[in-house]
Amino acid sequence: MNKLSIFTKGFFKENAVFTLLLGMCPTLGVTSSAINGLGMGLATTFVLIMSNIVVSLVKDSIPDKVRIPAFIVIIASFVTVVELLMQAYLPALFESLGLFIPLIVVNCIVLGRAEAFASKNNVFSSFLDGAGMGLGFAMALTMLGAIREFLGSGKMFDLVIFPEQYGMLVFVLAPGAFIALGYLIAVINKLKKA
């Protein structure tokens, strides 16, 4: 596999949300607006890149039997770093993402990439893999957030497109997340076959 395809596979071919259906909890939970989706996606990207780099650096010195707890400690540390930084410098975003930031720890994409990719590949490939997977995840969350925000409240990235009272409230609530995600996956599958 060449370096470019390691990076690009996360966007389409192995997109975490649309193809692997991983990380559904933050996907459905935080995407009530495009900016929330983007924020969550970028936070996850940071954790993915950093944990992939560190895991691939230390992979040889970690005994096999304790590799999962070791990975989790590494991931959890970076998540806490993100949480503290966000709380300090982006308090508004932190408030709307709230509970979901600590939950990045248990996002299966992060542990999945550490286990499946970073523990077997060198640092540079792991970095590319983390960046590709993370940005693909961020892209998916932003798309979903933008669609839900547009249909639900008539806005996109807080820009008013049509008055809020004509919005379909259900798209801002949880059921709308499932509906929007379902249609989005259907469209992506169709495109993939074409």
> In the complex, which residues of this chain contact other proteins (CB under 8 A)?
32, 58, 60-66, 69-70, 73-74, 76-77, 80-81, 84-85, 87-89, 91, 95, 152-153, 167, 169, 172-173
Token duo for residue 71: 């990975």
74 versus 114: smaller Cβ distance to other proteins: 74
| In the complex, least distance from residue 167 CB atom to other proteins, rounded to whole angstroms | 8
3-state secondary structure of 158: coil
- The CB density around residue 1, as the number of other CB atoms within 10 Å, is 9
- The least distance separating other proteins from the CB of residue 14, rounded to whole angstroms, comes to 27
| Smallest separation (angstroms) from other proteins to the CB of 44 | 18
**The amino acid at 84:** L
Query: Which one, 73 or 186, has the nearer CB to other proteins?
Result: 73
Distance in Å, CB of 70 to other proteins, minimum: 5
Closer residue to other proteins (CB): 66 or 194:
66
Judged by DSSP in three states, 8 sits in helix
In angstroms, give the least distance from the CB of 81 to other proteins: 5
Q: How many CB atoms lie within 10 A of CB 176?
A: 20
Q: Which is nearer to other proteins, 70 or 108 (CB)?
A: 70
| Contact between 34 and 142 (Cβ < 8 Å) | yes
CB neighbour class for 71 (10 Å; exposed up to 12, middle 13-18, buried from 19): buried
Are 135 and 128 within 8 A, CB to CB?
no
Question: In the complex with other proteins, which residue's Cβ is closer, 15 or 125?
Answer: 125
